[in-house]
């Protein structure tokens, strides 16, 4: 289940990267690069921090093949996507939900404190998108007032709470990932956001 979630997260983030690159009218090479850094950027940073090197996508080429496949799929079916922004939002949201769980579990495997595990989960989920947005000349979502990293933190907390219950670990993965996804969806649907420090400023 853990490996499956990792693959699904990679697919979701790769497609989200492709959609951003397409909206910026990049060439095929640019699209592939953006898809790649979006899919593995956060996980690469996480693995380096915990000393798990070479990082996962270097040890297992399945992730590279999955990114290539997801990129080609998204390019071929771009005309079938009616609402680009909606599609980008959905794939990005699914990606952060799945990668939060993957990051937390990696931290647990490394024997780290729960707070650090949650930080790793948030980093895994958010930093691929940060790199993507910076390369595409956008202000990263995590630095805006939208509920993004907060959803990952709550999902990470729920992971540790739920795993205390006598239920299968696979169910813990699924529920925790869904917590992140649902919080993000609700926040966007009802325009819930963190307060801005510059509400009355032109900045």
∠ CA 169-92-159 to the nearest 5 degrees? 25
**In this predicted model, what pLDDT tens digit does every residue of 11-49 receive, in sequence order?**
989 988 998 999 899 999 999 999 999 999 999 999 999
**In this predicted model, what pLDDT tens digit does every residue of 44-59 receive, in sequence order?**
999 999 999 999 999 9
**In this predicted model, what pLDDT tens digit does every residue of 61-112 receive, in sequence order?**
999 999 999 999 888 887 765 555 577 788 889 999 999 999 999 999 999 9
Sequence-distant (6+) residues with CB within 8 A of 118 are 104, 107, 153, 156, 157, 159, 160
**In this predicted model, what pLDDT tens digit does every residue of 117-132 receive, in sequence order?**
999 999 999 999 999 9
Sequence-distant (6+) residues with CB within 8 A of 168 are none
Residue-level pLDDT at 199:
55
- CA distances to 9, 131, 148, 166, 193 from 184, rounded to whole Å, are 16, 20, 6, 27, 10
Mean pLDDT of the chain: 89
Give the H or E element holding residue 2.
Answer: helix 2-23
Residue-level pLDDT at 83:
57
- Beta strands in 32-177, from DSSP E residues, in sequence order: none
Residue-level pLDDT at 4:
86
**In this predicted model, what pLDDT tens digit does every residue of 148-191 receive, in sequence order?**
899 999 999 999 999 999 989 889 999 999 999 999 999 988 88
pLDDT at 200 over 60: no
Residue of higher predicted confidence among 65 and 142: 65
pLDDT at 142 over 90: no
Residue-level pLDDT at 91:
85
Residue-level pLDDT at 202:
46
Q: 55 preceded by cis ω (within 30°)?
A: no
Residue-level pLDDT at 201:
46
């Amino acid at each position: 289940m853990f490996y499956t979630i990792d693959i699904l997260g990679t697919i979701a983030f790769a497609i989200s990267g492709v959609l951003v690159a397409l909206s910026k009218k990049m060439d095929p090479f640019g699209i592939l690069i953006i898809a790649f850094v979006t899919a593995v950027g956060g996980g690469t940073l996480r693995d380096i921090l915990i000393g798990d090197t070479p990082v996962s996508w270097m040890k297992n080429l399945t992730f590279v093949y999955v990114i290539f496949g997801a990129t080609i799929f998204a390019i071929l079916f771009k005309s079938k996507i009616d609402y680009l922004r909606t599609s980008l939002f959905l794939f990005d949201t699914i990606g952060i939900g799945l990668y939060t769980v993957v990051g937390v579990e990696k931290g647990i495997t490394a024997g780290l404190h729960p707070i650090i595990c949650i930080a790793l989960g948030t980093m895994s989920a958010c930093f691929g998108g940060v790199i993507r947005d910076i390369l595409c000349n956008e202000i990263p979502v995590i630095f805006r007032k939208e509920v993004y990293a907060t959803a990952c933190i709550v999902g990470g907390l729920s992971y540790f709470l739920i795993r205390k219950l006598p239920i299968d670990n696979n169910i813990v993965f699924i529920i925790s990932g869904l917590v992140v996804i649902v919080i993000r969806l609700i926040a966007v649907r009802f325009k819930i956001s963190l307060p801005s420090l510059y509400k009355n400023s032109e900045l």
